[in-house]
Amino acid sequence: MDAPREDRKGEAPWKMSGEELEKQYSPSRWTVRHGPEETQRIYSEIGIEATRRARATRRSLLGVPYGAGDGETLDVYFPEAAAADAWPLFVFLHGGYWQSGSKDESAYMAGPLTARGVAVVVVGYTLAPKATLDQMADQVAQSIAFVQKRFPCNEGIYLCGHSAGAHLATMMLLENWTTERGVTPNFKAFFLISGVYDLEPIVHTSVSAPLRMTPEDARRNSPQWHLEAASTKPWGPACPVLVIVGQHDSPEFRRQSRELFQTLCRGGWRASFEDIQDVDHFEIIWKLTEQDYVLTQIILKTIFPEF
């Protein structure tokens, strides 16, 4: 675990040239074993195959609507020995910079987790430019409220997001659930994997164009700026938040994860920092297909402390 360091008072650490900013926020340019295009191809193929296998070998509910809007559906993969509805629920939000990716190619962890008695929920949401960040965050909150109501006897919701999905998962720490959603999800832990939590640097990259993101939008949708106040929520600090990053993520992605962890610590959250060795931005998630992968084991140990 990285030790917290002092904040840079009055300094924007991401300030750099436009060219360097593009490089820092282009994860495929930091891969270590394959070129950018091959990495993207492998990432997609592994996700598609893992999802196909899960649908072929696990009892599932596919394309379940949690709302009436475009893309507002989710898939549920049930444990092998499914009895009643009292399982832990691992809810996953895919990445893709809020403009690509799909639940239909993101069930990486369904095999290993369902084999251990965990139900896996993979959430779809509307992508940019059809949706704004505010709309995506609202959809994710809708999906979690739906899951809690659909499976009220669950043994805990373990919310996980990768990359843009990690951002959306972190936004759920800011929700006023009972007031705005009429339900208090049974959150037991958050897994935030290789995410972006301060969106201000993104405004100055090509990623921003499909999002139509203004500086005001970026600040409103940056959990980094709001989490200390959110720790006053009754379920907040008691819920573990695991901030996870890959050794070969870009320096900016690693900085963002460290600084989110530090903010959580200052706010009194029960936060931890996991630096997964010898993986890049894509490998960190696709290796969840493997039962013995270190992150798979961290997830299982969090869900089942006796594991």
| Structure-token pair, residue 115 | 């084999």
What's phi and psi for 293, nearest 5 deg?
Answer: -60, 140
Catalytic residues: 163, 249, 281
Q: What pLDDT does 11 receive?
A: 47
Secondary structure letter of residue 177 according to DSSP: I
**pLDDT at residue 4 greater than cutoff 60:** no
Q: Specify whether the CB–CB gap between 245 and 276 falls below 8 A.
A: yes
Cα–Cα distance measured from residue 91 to residue 206, given in angstroms and rounded to the nearest whole number: 29
Secondary structure letter of residue 90 according to DSSP: E
Each residue's pLDDT tens digit, 21-48: 999 999 999 998 888 888 888 889 999 9
Q: What pLDDT does 203 receive?
A: 93
Pinpoint the alpha helices (H) of 65-132.
110-114
Each residue's pLDDT tens digit, 53-89: 999 999 999 999 999 988 999 999 999 875 667 899 9
Each residue's pLDDT tens digit, 241-281: 999 999 999 999 999 999 999 999 998 899 999 999 999 99
Q: What pLDDT does 234 receive?
A: 53
Each residue's pLDDT tens digit, 278-294: 999 999 999 999 999 99
pTM: 0.93
Question: What amino acid occupies position 56?
Answer: A
| Structure-token pair, residue 101 | 């990716």
Cα–Cα distance measured from residue 105 to residue 42, given in angstroms and rounded to the nearest whole number: 12
Q: Which residues contact 240 (CB under 8 A, 6 or more apart)?
A: 188, 189, 190, 270, 271, 272, 302
| Structure-token pair, residue 271 | 């936060």
Q: What pLDDT does 9 receive?
A: 37
Cα–Cα distance measured from residue 85 to residue 81, given in angstroms and rounded to the nearest whole number: 11
Q: Specify whether the CB–CB gap between 179 and 270 falls below 8 A.
A: no
**Planar angle of CA 138, 75, 304, nearest 5 degrees:** 90
Considering the chain, what percentage of its residues have pLDDT values greater than 70?
A: 92
Each residue's pLDDT tens digit, 216-241: 999 999 999 998 776 555 555 678 99
Q: Which CATH number fits domain 35-303: 3.40.50.1820, 3.40.50.1370, 3.40.1190.20, 3.30.2020.30?
A: 3.40.50.1820
Could you give the maximum distance between any two Cα atoms of the chain, in Å? Answer: 56
